[in-house]
Each structure stands twice: as structure tokens, then as C-alpha cells.
Chain A
Amino acid sequence: MLKIRNLHARVDDKEILKGIDLDVGLGEVHAVMGPNGSGKSTLAQVLAGREDYEVTAGEVEFGGEDLLEMPPEDRAREGIFMAFQYPVEIPGVSNTYFLKAALNAIRKHQGLEEMDAIDFLKLVRAKMKLVNMDEALLNRPVNDGFSGGEKKRNEIFHMAVLEPRLAVLDETDSGLDIDALKIVSEGVNTMRSADRSFVVITHYQRILNYIEPDFVHVLVDGRIARSGGKDLALELEDKGYAWLDPKTAGTAAAAVMA
């Protein structure tokens, strides 16, 4: 599904991704963890096509196609969805109508008929339940005045309506209380299927109690420092990230030995 090879990216003159290799197979859930500033969001944004990041080396293949060649909207239309760590507020643009325009742009690209208002409303109602969305949030402008938790739920709601083939969730769990976390996780779990893959970026192991990953990767300083099964996440919860960081690993190890 997704193949990342030796991906390097920088912003301005600062190299952030320093050679990432990652394979995400059909139907798999990959967790990407890592300390602040390690490049997790950068990886997500590069996958979604943010032009501020310059890819200096490497390749990304998605469903057999060269992802890096596509503008962001085409990536979305090909089935990539990114839930933003900080969703943007768009006053004056209705959450529902905007989503309808987005869905129809995607359907058109995929050679499907545009969805009419009645079918769309049915779809929206079904998906709303999935994330326990308040109806009022549907009629409000996109994220405008939403609380932090509402914004995150809205991202999952967008994902549920757009039904991507690959969803990249950038810290959708951060700052959520336990109830909201459960709702978001349930939303993701119901969306899990044999032909849909997830990259769940997170800072904390907690969400992985609810969304069980097939693989866990640790991103440190722009590289994947370690990959493993879901047990790796528990190990990280115990030990923190320092022991994986080549810059601090020596001192951390020394501290453990002392």
C-alpha cells in the first residue's frame, strides 16, 4: 500500500527527516511514536503533500504510484487522509457542506457519481454516530470555535465520511480526556478493514490500549530508531525515548548501569 524509501525532507535549511524507510501493508495499523520535535508531524505532512517541506531524497509509493509527484488534493482523491495535529478553523465555511464538496471531489476523481443532498445527509447521520458528534457541530463553520477535543473528533468524522484507503492520524489522541479518547478510538476501530491502513502518530502509549497496532515504530531525530510489535510501545512507556536517541543513549545507558 505505502512504501517509503530513504525519505529525506527539510524546511528552510534544516534537515528534519533523515532517511525514513517504512512499509505499510493493506489493512495494517502502524503506530509511529517519538519524542517532541523528532519529525512525526513532518512525516505526516510530507505524506499529505505540504509544500513547505522540501523532499531532498527518497521515494514514496502509494498503491503503486509515485506519491511525491501528486499535489495534495490528488493524494486525498487517491485515498490518503491526514488528521491534523492542529486542525485549522475556517469561519464562514459550513462543516457539512464543505465535507460534501470534498467527498464529491474525491468521488468524481474516482469515476463515481456525485452524491446528492439526501444520500449525503444519510451518510453524515450514520458517521456522526460513529464519533458521537453533536449535530450542532455539523452546522457550524469548520472547526470554528470548536474545543480541542471537538476538533479532533471532527477530524475523525471527516475521515469516516471520506473513507480513505490510508489514514494518517497525527496525535489525534493528544489532549483528549478518556471519554473522548475512547470515542476517537472506537471510530478508528470501526473503520478498520482489510483494505484500509492506518498510521497512528502518537506521543503516548495510552491510545494503543484502545487501537491495537500491528507494528510500532520509534522516530528519533528524523530516523526510525526501532521497529517492533505492540510490546515496543509498552517498553517505551517504561523507559522513555532517551535510550533510543544516539545523542543521549550513551549517558542514558551509563545512568542505568551506575
Chain B
Amino acid sequence: MPAVKERSPFVEAYESFDKSLGSQGEAVKRLRREGLEVFEEIGLPSKRQEEWRKTNVAALGSTSFRRASGGTSGLTPEKIRPFLLPDCIDLVFVNGRFSAELSRPGALPEGVFAGSLADAMARHADLVEPLLGHYADGKHPFVALNTAHIEDGAFIHVPRGVAVEKTIHLLFLGTTEGGEAVVSYPRNLFVAGQSSQLTVVESYCGFGDERYFHCPVTEIVGEANSVLDHYRLGQESLGAYHVATQKIHLERDTNFFTHSINHGGALVRNDIQAMLDGEGIHCTLNGLYLARGAQHVDHQMRVDHAKPNCHSYELFKGILEDRARAVFNGRIYVHQDAQKTDAKQSNRNLLLSKDALVHSNPQLEIFADDVRCTHGSTTGHLDDEAVFYLRSRGIGEEAARSLLTYSFAGEVLDEIRLEAVRKDLEEFLFTRLPKGNIVRQAV
């Protein structure tokens, strides 16, 4: 008989939750049960584990998060309007559950599905079941926790050869319920069929400093020759916890492009894993994080080059103020077969205060012999000489510093192809930076 362990609060009363999902298909129920078993075995990670050394999630265990009830927490279209993106299909989720009332659907090409995972599991089990949970690392504590709670999230399926012109915007709102902290587990699966094209934005948003826990898992599958533009906008409330995993599985000749922008959340952890499982793949993983106060933001990257002749580019930039902390762990694995790999990774951090801190650790593990791989990491302050140059032209000191901060972010900003997202981020920077009106004029 196994030793009796104290049950983690995250899986308390799991049986009644399980019962409430009685109508789910057997395959999904089995998946959940496996997730539960793994989580009960390994529990929340401790700081003794290498990947969790710099990010302490103990606070998660000691906060009592209720499982979200399923209401829309009094949210109205008015209240969520600031988070919507122009010219998009907005699909809105409140604490992990799809809300038809708050969403703004639009016409999609024949055969494309974009909507609630719960709905898709019921109506298109044939499309969902073979891939759900297939690529995400089931041994990851938060993937296991999420998997144990698969209930809803977003499912997008683009059939072979179809190009979806409209951007699909998935808006995940986190809230408290009756003043209490809640946890939700959005589960997302995007499948871009062979030679298809898709642009998708995942936003995670909240209000003020409300305390809640968003624990999403996103699996992305790019079938051969597909083109996928993916954006992830982290604008959680300042009291929120956000621990997310993205697993990207790419087949030959895909062109994949993702941007992770984050400025919200009290504690943010983002594991981004890309498997380049075919030849001729171009994979770009960019990111920009801004943190201040006592915010903590951690990105764990892993790119696997499994086949020859693939390119991966990673550029992550961070801007930190006050006592903010950032962690960046970048790992590129070049497998033995992956000759002619071209992999480039860079993490650059700008510290705007003396108490901000960054742990940056780019790593390469190469088992092939004919590859071109570079990685680098820099952490520094604003260049005094540049500040002086701007001031010597009549720009005030604060504005000069803001201009240079904007300039630092610019490299990532410029690569954002989706105008709605780029404009939003620019606007955010103009409001965030001191003397932002001068920055707005000068760029």
C-alpha cells in the first residue's frame, strides 16, 4: 500500500469535480486521471529542483485558491473592451471557461474550428483526442496539474491548405470570485494543418491587483509547410500568479513565429518548448518582459533541433525596475541528426534601478558536428553617453531615459508583424514610460 500523503489543496475534493465532468469522453477522462496521478506523486516543485531554483512557487501552495465556479464574475462587454483587439475574432474566457456572451465571433473559412475546447471535445472528439496531451510534457508539475483539470480552453483547427485571414484573439480573463482567490486551468490546442496559415493571439488579463491563479497549458501543432504567427500577451493583474507552459511541435518546412510580451502578474512563469521535428523549419521565438515593484518573471526556453537544416532565432529582452526579478533560462538542444542547424539565442536585460536583478542563463547542448549556433546574454544599465547625447539636444533627463528605454524595446517591437499588437504595445510603453508623450513624439 502506498504511503498516505497529505493531499495538495489543488486537488482537494477532486472527486466531486470529476463527477461534474461526467459527460466528458473516456479518452479525456483517462488523460485527466493520469494528470492527477502524476501531480499527486510529484506535487508542487521545490527550490531544490534545478528548473525551479530561482522561482519560488511555495506561495502558491500556501494561498488557498478555490476552483473557479464558472460564472462570468460580473464582467460586461464594457469592462473588457480595453483588452479587445481591432479587426479580430475575439473569443473570451473567464477563469478558464468560454463565455459566448462576451465573445465577438466572426466568419471563418469552411472547415475551420475556433472556439471552446469543451464544445470541441463534445462535437469533434475525432479532431481533439488524438492530439490533446500528446506533446505536452506530462511529467511537468504544472502540466500535470492542468491536465488533471482539463475542462475548457480554446481549440483551433485549421484544415489542410486553408489560410485564416482574420486574427483569432483568445482573451483569458482572470478574476476573484466573491473576493476569494480562484485558480483556473485553461487548456489550449491549436492545430495548423498542412500548408495552412493562422495568426493567433493569446491574452491573459486581469484587473487591478486581484489575486487569482492562471495555470494554462497550450499545445501548438504546425503540420508540414504551415505558417503560424502566435502572440502571447501577459497583462495579468498585479496580484496574479501565472504559470504557463507552451509546447510547440513543428513539422517540416513550417514557418513559426511567436512573441511573448509580459508586463502583468505578481509571479509569472512561462515555459516555452519548441520541437523542430522536420527539415527546413524556421522558428522565431521573441519576447519582451517589463517588471517593476516586486514582480517576478521567469522564462524557461527549450528548443529542440531534431532534424537537419532548421533555423531557430530567439530574442528576449527585459526591462526591470525597482526590486523586480527576472529569470531567463534558454536551452537549445541540437540532436545528433540535426546537421546544418542554424540556431541563435540572445537575452538582453536593461536594469533601470540598482535593486533589480536578472538571472540569465543561455545554454547550448550540441550533439551534431556541422552546425552554427550562437548564444549570448547581456545585462546592463542605460548608456550614460547616450543619455547625455539626447540631453545635449535639449531633451530633458527623464525623457531621454525613456527614449532610450523605448529604443531598447524597439528591436523586439519592430519584429512584431501584427499591427494591432504592435500598436497596443507601443501605446502601453508611451503610458508606462515617464514623459511618454515626448517619447510618442520622438519615435
Chain A positions near chain B (C-beta within 8 angstroms): 48-52, 71-73, 75-77, 81-82, 84, 87-88, 90-94, 97-106, 109, 141, 158, 162
Distance A152 CA – B442 CA, assembled complex (angstroms):
21
A sample of 9 cross-chain residue pairs with beta-carbon separation below 8 angstroms, ordered by A number, consists of A73-B395, A76-B391, A76-B392, A88-B383, A88-B385, A90-B389, A102-B390, A105-B438, A162-B393
Q: Which 7 A-B pairs have the closest CB atoms?
A: A92-B410, A92-B407, A76-B394, A101-B442, A72-B391, A88-B389, A102-B393
Distance between A238 CB and nearest chain B CB, rounded to angstroms: 35
From B388, B397, B443, give the contact of A97 (CB < 8 A). B443
Distance A151 CA – B51 CA, assembled complex (angstroms):
46
From A93, A102, A104, give the contact of B407 (CB < 8 A). A93
- Which residue of chain A lies nearest to B410 when distances are taken between CB atoms in the complex? A92
From A72, A102, A104, A109, give the contact of B388 (CB < 8 A). A72
Q: A88-B386, A98-B403, A105-B396 are in contact. Are A93 and B442 (CB under 8 A)?
A: yes
Distance between B220 CB and nearest chain A CB, rounded to angstroms: 30
In the complex the two chains form, is A73's CB within 8 Å of B441's CB?
Answer: no
- Which residue of chain A lies nearest to B408 when distances are taken between CB atoms in the complex? A92
- Since A73-B392, A98-B393 are in contact, a sample of 15 more A-B pairs with Cβ atoms closer than 8 Å, ordered by chain A residue number, is A48-B392, A49-B391, A73-B391, A73-B395, A76-B392, A90-B407, A92-B409, A93-B403, A93-B404, A93-B410, A98-B390, A100-B442, A101-B438, A105-B396, A162-B394
Q: Is B413 an interface residue (CB 8 A)?
A: yes
Distance between A188 CB and nearest chain B CB, rounded to angstroms: 18
**Count of chain B residues with Cβ under 8 Å from any Cβ of A?**
30
Q: A98-B442, A109-B394, A158-B393 are in contact. Are A90 and B403 (CB under 8 A)?
A: yes
- Which residue of chain A lies nearest to B407 when distances are taken between CB atoms in the complex? A92
> Of residues 385 to 437 in B, which have CB atoms within 8 Å of A's CB atoms?
385-386, 388-397, 399-400, 403-404, 406-411, 413-414
Question: Which residues of A have CB within 8 Å of B404?
Answer: 90, 93
Question: Which residues of A have CB within 8 Å of B406?
Answer: 92-93
Q: Is B384 an interface residue (CB 8 A)?
A: yes
- Which residue of chain B lies nearest to A87 when distances are taken between CB atoms in the complex? B389
In the complex the two chains form, is A106's CB within 8 Å of B443's CB?
Answer: no
Question: Which residues of B have CB within 8 Å of A71?
Answer: 391, 397
Question: Which residues of B have CB within 8 Å of A88?
Answer: 383, 385-386, 389
Distance A84 CA – B392 CA, assembled complex (angstroms):
10
Question: Which residues of B have CB within 8 Å of A97?
Answer: 441-443
Distance between A203 CB and nearest chain B CB, rounded to angstroms: 21
Question: Which residues of B have CB within 8 Å of A49?
Answer: 388, 391-392
Q: A52-B384, A93-B403, A104-B441 are in contact. Are A73 and B396 (CB under 8 A)?
A: yes
Distance A87 CA – B438 CA, assembled complex (angstroms):
21
In the complex the two chains form, is B395's CB within 8 Å of A102's CB?
Answer: yes
Distance between B67 CB and nearest chain A CB, rounded to angstroms: 44
In the complex the two chains form, is A91's CB within 8 Å of B442's CB?
Answer: no
In the complex the two chains form, is B410's CB within 8 Å of A91's CB?
Answer: yes
- Which residue of chain B lies nearest to A92 when distances are taken between CB atoms in the complex? B410
- Which residue of chain A lies nearest to B384 when distances are taken between CB atoms in the complex? A52
Question: Which residues of A have CB within 8 Å of B409?
Answer: 92
Q: A90-B407, A93-B406, A97-B443 are in contact. Are A76 and B393 (CB under 8 A)?
A: yes
In the complex the two chains form, is A93's CB within 8 Å of B443's CB?
Answer: yes
In the complex the two chains form, is A90's CB within 8 Å of B390's CB?
Answer: yes
In the complex the two chains form, is A90's CB within 8 Å of B386's CB?
Answer: yes
Question: Which residues of A have CB within 8 Å of B391?
Answer: 49, 71-73, 76
- Which residue of chain A lies nearest to B386 when distances are taken between CB atoms in the complex? A88
Distance A54 CA – B389 CA, assembled complex (angstroms):
18
Distance A44 CA – B410 CA, assembled complex (angstroms):
31
Question: Which residues of B have CB within 8 Å of A51?
Answer: 388
Question: Which residues of A have CB within 8 Å of B438?
Answer: 101, 105
In the complex the two chains form, is B388's CB within 8 Å of A50's CB?
Answer: yes
In the complex the two chains form, is B394's CB within 8 Å of A91's CB?
Answer: no
- Which residue of chain B lies nearest to A101 when distances are taken between CB atoms in the complex? B442
Most-contacted residue by chain A among B383, B389, B392, B394 (CB, 10 A): B394
In the complex the two chains form, is B403's CB within 8 Å of A105's CB?
Answer: no
Distance A72 CA – B409 CA, assembled complex (angstroms):
25
> Of residues 28 to 63 in B, which have CB atoms within 8 Å of A's CB atoms?
none
